[in-house]
Amino acid sequence: MKLNNLSLVVIAAIVIYIILVGVVYYEKTSSLETPEMVQALVAKAIKLYDEKGTDAFLVINDNAEFHGKQLYVYMFRDSDGIIVAHGVNKSLIGTNIDDLTDINDKNIGKTIIHDSATKDGVWVEYYWKDPETQKVLLKYAWLVKHDGYVFGSGIYTTDETLENPN
The residue ranges of every structural domain in the chain are: 1-30, 33-157
Sign of the four-CA dihedral 156, 78, 66, 165: negative
* pLDDT score at 38: 94
What is the three-class DSSP state of 93?
coil
Q: What is the mean pLDDT of residues 94-114?
A: 88
61-92 pLDDT tens trace: 998 888 777 789 999 999 999 999 999 889 99
109-126 pLDDT tens trace: 898 888 999 999 999 998
Taking the domain 33-157, which CATH number applies?
A: 3.30.450.20
Q: Which residues of 11-24 are buried (b: 16+ CB within 10 A; e: fewer)?
A: eeeeeeeeeeeeee
* Cα–Cα distance, 98 to 111 (Å, whole number): 8
